Amino acid sequence: MSPINEKLVPSADKVSYEHAQVIVVGAGPVGLLLALKLAQAGIDVLILEAEKQVLQSPRATTYMPIVLTELEKVGLFEDIEKAGHKNYEGIRFRKSHAKGGEVLAQLKMAQVPKGAVKYNFAGIHLGQHTLAEIILSHCEREKVRIRWSNRFAGAKQSGEQDPVTVTCVGPVGENFFTCDYLVAADGAGSS
């Protein structure tokens, strides 16, 4: 595997490397959910996150039944249900507010045949930051390790059978990690 960014690769020779079977870069809902699922399967996981905590901007706010079913499979549904607001009315698709906000289509829950869907609501409204904090609490119960304030800087692998060496920049300089598998889940501006 060639370095992801050839200018930012591990530079130290003999230093302390923290090892995990899988390193996940990014502690948003996607990275946290992946880490949780892996940990529940008995895999040693380490999350590296550039921020000092879960980002507090709400971003995504609605989770539809198809997503809730997946979150239920990993034991998150009860906490999400308690923290969120259920939409019993239905779903509306509309033009953006900049284009007048006109309703294009809607499906009211009363129109859905009884027994046709798993839930009696159209979705749960919950800020992405709250969802991430819920997943994080479950990750902590599964002993997933997380290193906050560690911005991914690069990765390299000498040979196919060798571990991946990861460099992060933390508050006091470079930190080094090794893993068997490296997953990028650090969002749209991925390193």
Rounded Cα distance, 90 and 111, in Å? 9
Give the pairing type, strands 151-156 and 164-170: antiparallel
Quick check: helix, strand or coil at residue 99? helix
What one-letter code names the amino acid at 183? V
User: By the 8 A CB rule, do 185 and 26 touch?
Assistant: yes
What residue segments make up the domains of the chain, in order of their start? 85-124
| Residue 1, pLDDT score | 47
DSSP state for residue 102 in the 8-state scheme: -
Residues of the chain with pLDDT under 70: 1-15
Phi, psi for residue 151 in degrees, rounded to 5: -80, 125
Using the structure block, give the residue that is written with the tokens 């006109």: 102
| Separation between Cα atoms, residue 60 and residue 103, nearest integer Å | 20
What pLDDT shows up at residue 79? 99
What pLDDT sits at residue 39? Answer: 99
By the 8 A CB rule, do 77 and 71 touch?
yes
Euclidean distance between CA atoms 157 and 164, whole angstroms: 5
For residue range 96-121, what is the model confidence (pLDDT) as tens digits?
989 999 999 999 988 888 878 899 99
Torsions phi, psi of 89, nearest 5?
-80, -50
- At 175, the amino acid letter reads N
Q: Where are the alpha helices (DSSP H) in the chain?
A: 29-40, 65-73, 77-83, 128-141
What does the pLDDT look like over 143-167, one tens digit per residue?
999 999 999 999 999 988 899 999 9
